[in-house]
Structure 1
């Protein structure tokens, strides 16, 4: 019981810490900070940041170990990350420098969260059992020719 409680606390603690980190980063102006740039580097940074957020939220929801939050963890993590992106864009207009909300930043946030959860879904989905390979059957069964002639 204590181990389960520790892992649950750790998962939710990491998710909350990630949310706080995004909040702090989005409310500080990066003017004067030299950051390597390329075309759409801002959008790529948003996508990567929110992919990480959705992974942290997925871990937190899965730490509950049962119930509908557990079963719907990928969808809930995606929706929570996307909604946090909306909230973050709106709150930026109140912070220092009064940056304007950008719908394309939110789109990048949502794409990053979706990409991570699609990856999680593809990695964790149940795969159907494969039929035994006939070549392996012939090698493993020395009487194969005698039984199938």
Structure 2
């Protein structure tokens, strides 16, 4: 979460251009990592949750964190909030849970 916050604090002019879809790739990677680690944390700290409940809780967390991250970006010079980015963040979180295997 700290990585997402730090990266979203970089002004738009301070982001180096590497390739055409780097923004989307970075969102997916960061939120996939978030989903990958939040899911087992929920499963171990709240053992009463079923796998499905932990899955939806993790996805809800990723969506809410993505919304708050976009809200934060709206205050950073050269950055804007984007509904598309919220959707990409959510997809990244889902990919992270799938990669982890949500039944573990």
In 1, the alpha carbon distance for the partners of 2:23 and 2:84 equals: 10
TM-score for the superposition, normalised by structure 2: 0.81
Structure 1 residue 31: deviation in Å?
A: 2.5
1:105 correspondence with 2:75: no
**Structure showing greater relative contact order (alpha-carbon pairs closer than 8 Å, 6 or more residues apart):** 2
- 2:66 equivalent to 1:76: no
How much does 1:98 deviate? 5.2
Aligned length: 103
Deviant stretches of 4+, over 4 Å: none
Give unmatched runs, 5+ long, in structure 2. Answer: none
Let me know the Cα RMSD of the aligned residues: 2.3
Larger Rg: 1
CA–CA separation in structure 2 for the residues paired with 1:54 and 1:60: 10
**Structure 1 residues without counterparts, runs of 5 or longer:** 1-18, 126-149
TM-score (norm 1): 0.59
| 1:63 shift after superposition | 2.1
Partner of 2:80, secondary structure, is coil
